[in-house]
Structure 1
Amino acid sequence: MSSRDRILDAYADLLAEEGERFATINAVAARAGVSKGGVLYHFPSKDQLAAAVCERLAVLAAEDAQVMRTAAEGPARYYVRSSHYAGTPLDRVLVAVSRLRQAGDARAWAAIEAAAEEWLTILHEAIGDLDTARAVKLIGDGLYYNALHRALGGQPAPSAADEGLLAVIDRMIASAAGS
């Protein structure tokens, strides 16, 4: 892993764990195992670190969107099944960018909204009904929110999606297709 990637990982982890105020250049350097000068070589300012982590979210969300589009089980089932915080790179960066958003960073807001809009667009295209797509997305978002807070609280998250909930998703999609 490159120094640049280690620095971005350290920054994202600090944002997620401690918040924007505590994700200082010195703290990032210590977490990444590089000097402050090493951080500043790659990212001359904390603002550039924030921009880079938002860009990383865009890349990881686009990769996830592509997997979602081509999932054998279909986008809706994929979205619900993958709506569990698992500490993946996408999970960690999403939490980090959410912390930037809480601190008022407009780029963070835009990055999160762009990802959410792409996931909703995929669901809408697959289901054919915007209201049903929104309902599926909100179910997945609620699962993710719950799983994230369980993980942050040290409680293990369920490893598999609730099959009963997936059956409800299937009925919603069938109903939308029949209307």
Structure 2
Amino acid sequence: MTQKQSAKEPVLDAFERVVIERGERAATLEAVAVEAGVSKGGLLYHFGSKKDLVDGVIERISASATDYSDLLRASPEGVVSTFIRTSVTAGTDFDNSYIALTRLAQSGIYPEARAALARIETEWFDLVESEVGDPGVARLVLLVSDGLYYSSALFPDATTRTDAGSLDEVIAVVADLVRARRG
């Protein structure tokens, strides 16, 4: 069983790369097999269809999102601070899965991709809201996070937007907002 699971991972990695680099339409079974360096039969052994690949990405990111939520809960710095500091792309496996799933959701072909992203965002919202105690501030934090992620993904050389000092300023503004809303 472990061997089968580990053999699936390079195929999912290849699928994500093709979706990210060339788009959903280009992510044919043939293209994924070539990218993964396996035969089409080898790919079909693990994933019988493109939808199975999408489901594999959803399963993968759901597990990663659970781990991330656990990290947020356990962070000594607090949920909001850690959430904001980690809202930049870093080329991690999670980033690749998230970007691929976003592109699949945008295609309109895979409503399950959109639903998975919505579940993840709801979990993050709930964690942030539990710390700040205000749904409006929680929504703002999620939107700030989205902006940081977008900015770091599209403008990786503009580090002044996402450096530690800039993030400290954003976190301080959120803390001020929470105090003001509570007062």
Question: TM-score, normalised on structure 1?
Answer: 0.91
1:138 corresponding residue in structure 2? 143
Q: Which deviations, in whole Å up to 9, do the C-alpha atoms of 1:76-118 show, x marking residues without a partner?
A: 0111111101111111101000111111110000011000110
Deviation at 1:147, TM superposition (A): 1.1
Q: In the aligned structure 1, how far is the partner of 2:152 from the partner of 2:119?
A: 22
Q: In the aligned structure 2, how far is the partner of 1:48 from the partner of 1:54?
A: 10
Checking the alignment, whether the CA contact within 8 Å between 1:81 and 1:160 is kept in structure 2 is no
For 1:49-68, list aligned pairs within 5 A: 49-68=53-72
Matched, 1:2 2:6: yes
Q: Which deviations, in whole Å up to 9, do the C-alpha atoms of 1:40-83 show, x marking residues without a partner?
A: 00001111111111121211111111111111110001111111
Write the letter of the residue equivalent to 1:147.
S
Q: In the aligned structure 2, how far is the partner of 1:156 from the partner of 1:34?
A: 38
1:118 corresponding residue in structure 2? 123
Deviation at 1:156, TM superposition (A): 6.3
1:72 corresponding residue in structure 2? 76
Question: TM-score, normalised on structure 2?
Answer: 0.89
Partner SS for 1:119:
helix
Report the RMSD for the aligned CA atoms in angstroms. Answer: 1.6
Structure with higher RCO (Cα < 8 A, 6+ apart): 1
Count residues in correspondence.
175
Query: After TM superposition, what 4+ stretches of structure 1 lie above 4 angstroms from structure 2?
Result: 156-159
2:47 corresponding residue in structure 1? 43
Query: Any gaps of 5 or more consecutive residues in structure 2?
Result: none
Matched, 1:165 2:183: no
Aligned residues: percent identity?
37
